[in-house]
Structure 1
Amino acid sequence: MNWSYSIGKVRGTELRVHITFFILLIWITVAAWTADGMQAAVTNLLFILAVFACVVLHELGHATMAARFGVKTPDITLLPIGGLARLERIPENPKQEILIAVAGPAVNVVIWLVLTLVLGAVTQQGALQSLEDYTQNFWGRLAAVNLLLVAFNLIPAFPMDGGRVFRAVLALFMDRVKATQVAARTGQVIAFLFGYWGLVGGGPILVLIAVFIFLAAGAESSDATMRSLAHGARARDALITSYLSVAPDDTLQTAVNAILHSSQSEFPVLTPEGRFAGILTRESVMAHPEPEHRQQPVSALMIRDLPSVTPETEMETVLDAFTGKYVPAVAVIDRTDRFMGYINRENIGEWFILSRK
C-alpha cells in the first residue's frame, strides 16, 4: 500500500504503518493535551497504541490460521480505521475461509479474557461511551475495546470478517462467484447504513469505514468474477505483442521520443541479445522532465526483477503476480528465454471486459 512504512517483520509477515495512522496519533495527542493537559495526552496516546497492538494481534490471528492452510500473509498494514492483513489468496474451501475469518475475533476474545481474569479489568456498563475519558480504568477500557472489535468485525459486511464468514456459508450452497456477489451487495448496503449513521451523528470515522467497506466490497466482487473467468485462460490470451522497446544503454531522450510517438505506458527494456532486462514506465520518465536527465541511461530508471511467466501460464497465476507490491507489468518469456511480450493491468482489464459472454 502506498504511503505506508515498514516497522519490522513477524514470522515472515511485514508490519507496515500507513502515514495516516501517525496523523491520527498526533491529532489525538494534541486534542487531549489542549483539553486536559499532558497527563491526558500521554494516557490517551498509550491507550491508542495498546488498542492498535490488539489490532495487530487480531490480524496475526488471521495470518496464523491462514498459514495452517498454506496461505502466506505478505504484510499487515495499520490504518486509522484498523488493520489490514493481505493474504496472498483466499482459500476456495469455505470451511477454511470461515476458520481464517473467525481467527481474528477469537484473538480479541482471548485478550479480553486475559485482561479480565489476569489483570482484573472490569468492563462496566457504558464503558464504550467513555473510551476517550482518560480517568477511566486503562485496562477496563482496553477490555471494552476488544469486545467492541469482536462485535464490529462479526457484522456481515463483506469484506470484514463477518462478511467473509457470510460469503463462505453462502458458498456451501451456491457458486463461489455468486456467493461473493451476494455478500458484496449485502456489505455495500450495510456500508450505506454506516455512512448514514456517521453523517447524522455517529462521527467521521464511521463515514470513513463505510466508504472503505463499500469500495472494498465492490473490488472483491470484481476480483472474484475475474478469477472465475480466468479458469482455463492462459497468459497468451492477454499478451501484448505490438510495442516499442528500449535498451538498457539507451538514453532517456530515446525513451522521451518513444513516449511522444506512442501511447504505451510501459516500455520493455531488452538487451542487444533480446533478453528481458526490466520495464521503463512512462510515469518514471515524466517524473524527471528536466533536460539534465535526458542523457541518463534507461537502466537508471527501469524497474528490475519483475515477475515473468510463459505463454501457457494459467491466467490466475498472472493475476496473482499483480497482487501486492507495485508491479507495472508481467513479462512473458518462452521456454528458450526469448521475450515474447508483456501483460499490464490495463490489458488485463480489457481482456476481462471483452472475454465476458
Structure 2
Amino acid sequence: MLGPVQPTPYDLTFSLLGIPVRVMVTFWLGAAVLGWNSMQLGLPYLLTWIVVAFVSILVHEMGHALTARLLGYPPRIMMYHFGGLALYEPHRNYTVGKSVLITLAGPFAGFALYGLIRLSLPVLVNSGVIGGGLNPATFAVSQLLFINLWWGVLNLLPVLPLDGGQICRDVCITLSPRRGTTIAIQIGMVAAGLVAFYFFQQQRTYAAILFAFLGIQNFQELQQRRYG
C-alpha cells in the first residue's frame, strides 16, 4: 500500500510455494520504526518484533497471492517500508467476484494464523515454550496474535488503499460504474476521519496519524478526480 519504491541490488529475494518474493531493504527499516517501542524491553525484543512483522505481512500477502494463482493470475510479492503488495495482472475473465475473493484472502490468511496460534497455546504453555514471565518467545506469540487479528480487522475498514477500501470500490463500481470510485473515495474519507478521531481519543497516536494520513490521501485523490 501507499506506493512502492524501486528495487535495489540489496533486496532479499526468494521463492515461497512457487511465488517470487522480494523484500526491499526499506522493509526492515519500516518494521524497526513501527516496533521501536519494543526496544524499551531490549534489543532481542525489537528483533523479535521485526521477525513477527515479517512473518505476519508475508502470510497476509501469500493469502492474496495463492488465491490469485488459484484463479489463474500468476502473482509476485513485494515487501517494502509501508507493508506488502501481492502483484498480478487481472486478465482472462477477471470479475468483481474474483477481485473481492483475492482481496479477502489476505486478511483471512492472517485470521487463520491467529486461530492456529490460539489453538496451539495449551501446547506452547505445557511445553514451556511460553509462560513463566516475559521473554522473547512469549512476546513473539503475543504480538503474532495481536497483529494477525487487529491488523486484519483494521485492514478491512472501507478506506482506500486498504483491502476493505478496495472491496468497497469494487462494490461501488458494480452498483454505479460511472461514480463508483468517487463514492468509494468519499466513504474512505469519512471512515478514515472517524477512525483517526477514535484513536486520538484513545491516545493511540501512531494509528491515529496513519488513518489521518489515509483520509488526507483520499481527499487529495478526490480533488484530483474533480479538478484534474
Provide TM-score, normalisation by structure 2. 0.71
Name the amino acid aligned to 2:22.
L
Equivalent pair of 2:52/2:140 in contact (CA under 8 Å): no
Equivalent pair of 1:108/1:150 in contact (CA under 8 Å): yes
Equivalent pair of 1:158/1:217 in contact (CA under 8 Å): no
The unaligned stretches of length 5 or more in structure 1 are 123-131, 226-352
Deviations 1:66-115 (A, max 9, x none): 22333343442232x53233344488511111101110011112111221
Aligned to 1:173: 175
Aligned to 1:85: 86
Aligned to 1:190: 191
**CA offset at residue 209 of structure 1?**
4.4
**CA offset at residue 46 of structure 1?**
1.0
**CA offset at residue 163 of structure 1?**
1.8
3-state DSSP class of the match of 1:120?
A: helix
Deviations 1:36-74 (A, max 9, x none): 4xxx32034213311321111101211221223333434
Partner Cα distance (1:152, 1:144) in 2: 12
3-state DSSP class of the match of 1:13?
A: strand
Equivalent pair of 2:7/2:24 in contact (CA under 8 Å): yes
* Bigger relative contact order, structure 1 or 2 (CA pairs below 8 A, ≥6 apart): 2
Aligned to 2:29: 22
**CA offset at residue 21 of structure 1?**
3.8
Equivalent pair of 1:71/1:88 in contact (CA under 8 Å): yes
Cα 1:45–1:2, aligned 2, differ >3 Å: closer, same or farther? Answer: same
Name the amino acid aligned to 2:155.
N
Partner Cα distance (1:135, 1:205) in 2: 25
3-state DSSP class of the match of 1:14?
A: strand
Aligned to 1:157: 159
Equivalent pair of 2:56/2:147 in contact (CA under 8 Å): no
Cα 1:101–1:220, aligned 2, differ >3 Å: closer, same or farther? Answer: farther
Among 68, 71, 75, which residue is 1:69 paired with? 71
Alignment size in residue pairs: 208
Name the amino acid aligned to 1:106.
F
Name the amino acid aligned to 1:46.
T
Name the amino acid aligned to 2:13.
G
Name the amino acid aligned to 1:188.
M
Among 205, 208, 223, which residue is 1:206 paired with? 208
Among 5, 15, 39, which residue is 1:2 paired with? 5
The unaligned stretches of length 5 or more in structure 2 are 125-133
3-state DSSP class of the match of 1:53?
A: helix
Partner Cα distance (1:217, 1:94) in 2: 25
Name the amino acid aligned to 2:21.
E
- What does 1:113-132 align with in structure 2 at a 5 Å threshold? 113-120=115-122
Partner Cα distance (1:23, 1:212) in 2: 17
Partner Cα distance (1:159, 1:168) in 2: 12
Cα 1:117–1:12, aligned 2, differ >3 Å: closer, same or farther? Answer: closer
- What does 1:147-296 align with in structure 2 at a 5 Å threshold? 147-175=149-177, 177-197=178-198, 201-212=203-214, 214-215=216-217, 219=221
**CA offset at residue 196 of structure 1?**
3.9
**CA offset at residue 145 of structure 1?**
2.1
Aligned to 1:105: 107
Greater Cα radius of gyration, structure 1 or 2: 1
Name the amino acid aligned to 1:148.
W
Partner Cα distance (1:133, 1:203) in 2: 26
Partner Cα distance (1:139, 1:170) in 2: 38
Equivalent pair of 2:49/2:140 in contact (CA under 8 Å): yes
Partner Cα distance (2:79, 2:211) in 1: 15
Return the structure number with greater helix share: 2
Q: RMSD value over aligned CA atoms?
A: 3.6
Partner Cα distance (2:199, 2:84) in 1: 20
Name the amino acid aligned to 2:51.
L
Equivalent pair of 1:54/1:146 in contact (CA under 8 Å): yes
Name the amino acid aligned to 1:2.
V
Equivalent pair of 1:157/1:186 in contact (CA under 8 Å): yes
Cα 1:20–1:194, aligned 2, differ >3 Å: closer, same or farther? Answer: farther
Cα 1:50–1:96, aligned 2, differ >3 Å: closer, same or farther? Answer: same
Deviations 1:243-266 (A, max 9, x none): xxxxxxxxxxxxxxxxxxxxxxxx
State the identity as a percent. 20
